[in-house]
Structure 1
Amino acid sequence: MRMTNPGPSASPTRLYTDLLIRCIANTIYRDAPQDPWSGSSYSDTVRAEGRDWPSRAHSMIGVKRLENLRWAVETVIREAIPGDLIEAGVWRGGACILMRGLLAAHGEATRQVIVADSFEGLPCPDPTRFPQDTGDTHHQFSELAIPVDEVKEHFAAYGLLDAQVKFLKGWFRDTLPTLRGRRFALVRLDGDMYQSTMESLENLYDRLSPGGFLIVDDYGAIPACKAAVDDFRAARCIAEPLQWVDWTGVWWRRPRDGA
């Protein structure tokens, strides 16, 4: 499954952001996956769905979720939803690179992209506090530990490393509380675990502007992530329906005042 070619009559903004998505997902050079489950060769369908761990691409979330992110960012720009953009759990930085590229393409010079990650992989599970993470093995995958300097190099390769990008290094329980003075138009969560997802929701959702987007990457793929989202929504009486992007990604919008 390849992206639809917009054709030469498309706007420069659309052509640029399409090219960004193709580069970030590496559907151009079609790099082989490095995971043990998706086979040893590249597949357009697998990459579109974000079902592999690419060996070279800057994101593993796939074309469909990148296109959804583009639509959400362009919506908050068009509707003037106030606030910055943040991803909690960034791997090689691809989704954040796309967000920064979209701000540049639309002339948005005041919003920042917050790149939040331990840059050391995922934490060991804490089954005492978060029993839903019992047996979780994400911390054992060295492929998920991408140093912050390497992520910065990826931004620089696209010409998008500047003052509108802020790196927030450390465990979410320590770093996300420091953002309490910020307002966000879009929050994207890719923390895999119950703990990471819940800590992100508890620290970021109240900062999300009315009309802003809350996007979760692993809802359909990881039961612990789904449990955290479901528990948080139930505790907060959030009634907005979840919208599916593909087999795992979901989103909803925070209701506007009076809605």
Structure 2
Amino acid sequence: MGREKVPGDFIEYGIALGGSAIYIASELDGNRHFHGYDVFGMIPSPTEQDDEKSKARYETIRSGRSTGIGGDTYYRYQGNLFDKVSASFTGFGVPVDGERIVLHKGLFEDTVDLDPKTRIALAHLDCDWHDPVKFCLERTFEVLSPGGVMILDDYNDYGGCRTATDEFLAGRADCRLTRILPHAVIRRL
């Protein structure tokens, strides 16, 4: 199959320090926009739908015992994370302008309000636990262009993400899991 251009914008759910979001935003062409969603603070807790590994990871984060890359302060413990991530976007030449590149601060269920006329070509889901993954899959798929993809960062890491993804895919003929490693990829047919 050729490399056709799928219409639509790019989205990332769960921005952390902005690394993958900055890369995705730097690949915008034409009239595409980038929307990034994150709480830019302490990650919400997993639920009963999540596995013990997820709950243990959250407890480490919640207790203040998590470390960042290279022993730095874990990003969820940093103040003004939104401002730091925005500055990183600017530093890499993709400034958050509120129009072409937009960051949304808050819980997904409070900030993700995709217009039914919106089209998404690429969505990167890095939101760890079952409930946010399920929410983001369902909301994104409503506006995902044919040929569009959703990349699931945590499919192989956290049981809740895998369960939410497998539940989403069950019985669906309009999308396919096209890859599992290193991250799962769902393509809309």
- Maintained 8 Å contact 2:51/2:158: no
Determine the C-alpha separation between the residues in 2 that align with 1:164 and 1:204.
19
Q: Contact 1:213–1:253 at 8 Å: present in 2 too?
A: yes
**CA contact under 8 A between 2:38 and 2:106: conserved in structure 1?**
yes
Structure 2: give runs of 5+ residues left out of the alignment.
67-72
TM superposition score normalised by structure 2 = 0.80
Answer whether contact 1:83 1:185 (CA < 8 A) is retained.
yes
1:85 match = 10
Q: Cα RMSD (Å) of the superposition? A: 2.2
Structure 1 126/180 Cα, relative in aligned 2: closer, same or farther at 3 Å?
Answer: farther
Deviation of residue 225 (structure 1)?
Answer: 0.8
More strand by share: 2
Once the two structures are superposed, what CA deviation does each residue of 1:88-107 show, in whole Å capped at 9, x if it has no partner?
0111111111112222xxxx
Confirm or deny: 8 A CA contact 2:51 2:159 kept in the other structure: no
Cα displacement (A) at 1:238:
5.3
**TM-score, length basis structure 1:** 0.59
One-letter amino acid of the structure 1 residue matched with residue 148 of structure 2: G
- Identical pairs, percent: 32
The change in CA–CA distance for 1:151 and 1:208 in structure 2 (over 3 A counts) is: same
SS at match of 1:121: coil
Tell me, yes or no, if the aligned pair for 1:115 and 1:167 is still in contact at 8 Å.
yes
Query: CA deviation digits over 1:14-33, x for unaligned, max 9?
Result: xxxxxxxxxxxxxxxxxxxx
Q: Secondary structure at the match of 1:132?
A: coil
Q: Distance in 2 between matches of 1:208 and 1:101?
A: 20
Native 8 Å contact 2:12 2:37 kept in 1:
yes
2:88 corresponds to which letter in structure 1?
H
Unaligned runs of 5+ in 1: 1-74
Q: Which amino acid aligns with 1:79?
A: E
Assess, with a 3 A threshold, how the Cα gap between structure 1 residues 238 and 210 changes in structure 2: closer, same or farther: closer
Give 1:86's aligned amino acid: I
Between structures 1 and 2, the one with greater helix share: 1
Is the 8 Å Cα contact of residues 128 and 161 (structure 2) preserved in structure 1? yes
Distance 1:79 1:239, change over 3 A: closer
Worse-superposed segment, 86-95 or 145-154: 145-154
Provide the secondary structure at the position in 2 that maps to 1:214. strand
Q: How does 1:219-230 map to 2 (within 5 A)?
A: 219-230=155-166
- The amino acid that maps onto 1:114 is H
The change in CA–CA distance for 1:238 and 1:220 in structure 2 (over 3 A counts) is farther
Question: Which is further off, 215-224 or 229-238?
Answer: 229-238
**1:253 is matched with which residue?**
187
Matched, 1:121 2:39: no
- The residue identity in structure 2 corresponding to 1:179 is L
Q: How does 1:47-66 map to 2 (within 5 A)?
A: none
Is the 2:155–2:184 Cα contact (8 Å) retained in structure 1? yes
- Within the candidate set 136, 141, 151, 2:85 is matched to 151
Larger Rg over CA atoms: 1
| 4+ residue runs over 3 A deviation | 235-239
For 1:217 and 1:235, locate their aligned partners in 2 and report how far apart those are by CA, in whole Å: 22
- Residue correspondences, number: 169
Partner of 1:174: 110
CA contact (8 A) 1:93 1:151 kept: yes
Higher RCO, 1 vs 2 (CA within 8 Å, ≥6 residues apart): 2
- 1:126 to partner: Cα distance: 3.6
Q: Supply the AA of the counterpart residue of 1:154.
A: S
